[in-house]
């Protein structure tokens, strides 16, 4: 019963894409806190402010989810291509930092965050993950797993790409 009540609350969420500069300092700090709660990546305000685009999920005035299209980093893209054994253009931006506060899991927010990021994108994207739920989110959004997995800091990582034609 509690799961049904939680899932019915999904309609109360608002997910919007925005430029990092559109967020106030406290809002940016809330985004960083959500990302850090996931424990998968290291992020700070400089990294998040340098993103090309953010998607933010809110429940009332509270930020409960965030995702980004990161700025192009050719060295990162080239390194991922080498590690995965799958060649893709080094100018490809990365989708990342998709995180939802654990109290708001199972409400489809990762899907809505990714959809908001993809709505305004131009060209292909890549993402890396070890998380099985994120793999499902990426697959549902049209990403496909490519290449081989490789060891990350704490997990085996995989490459996911979208619209690289």
In tens, the pLDDT along 90-119 reads 999 999 889 999 999 899 999 999 999 999
- The residue range of the domain holding 60 is 2-162
108: nearest Cα among 1, 2, 35, 12: 12
Q: What is the CATH number of the domain that holds 41?
A: 3.40.630.30
Q: Quick check: helix, strand or coil at residue 134?
A: helix
In tens, the pLDDT along 26-52 reads 999 999 999 988 766 777 788 889 999
Look up tokens 């953010």; give the residue. Answer: 54
Torsion angle in degrees (nearest 10) through CA of 57, 29, 19, 146: -70
Task: For residues 137 and 154, give the distance between their C-alpha atoms in angstroms, rounded to a whole number.
Answer: 21
The count of structural domains within the chain is 1
């Amino acid at each position: 019963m509690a799961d049904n009540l939680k899932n019915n609350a999904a309609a109360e969420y608002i997910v919007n894409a925005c430029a990092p500069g559109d967020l106030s300092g406290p809002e940016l700090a809330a985004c960083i806190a959500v990302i850090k709660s996931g424990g998968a990546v290291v992020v700070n305000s400089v990294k998040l402010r340098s993103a090309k685009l953010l998607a933010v999920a809110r429940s009332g005035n509270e930020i409960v989810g965030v995702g980004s299209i990161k700025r192009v980093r050719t060295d990162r893209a080239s390194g991922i291509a080498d590690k995965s054994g799958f060649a893709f253009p080094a100018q490809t931006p990365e989708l990342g930092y998709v995180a939802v506060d654990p109290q708001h899991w199972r409400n489809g927010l990762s899907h809505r965050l990714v959809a908001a990021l993809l709505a305004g994108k131009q060209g292909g994207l890549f993402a890396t993950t070890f998380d099985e739920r994120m793999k499902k989110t990426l697959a549902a959004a049209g990403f496909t797993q490519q290449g081989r997995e490789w060891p990350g800091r704490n997990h085996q990582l995989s490459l996911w790409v979208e619209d690289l034609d």
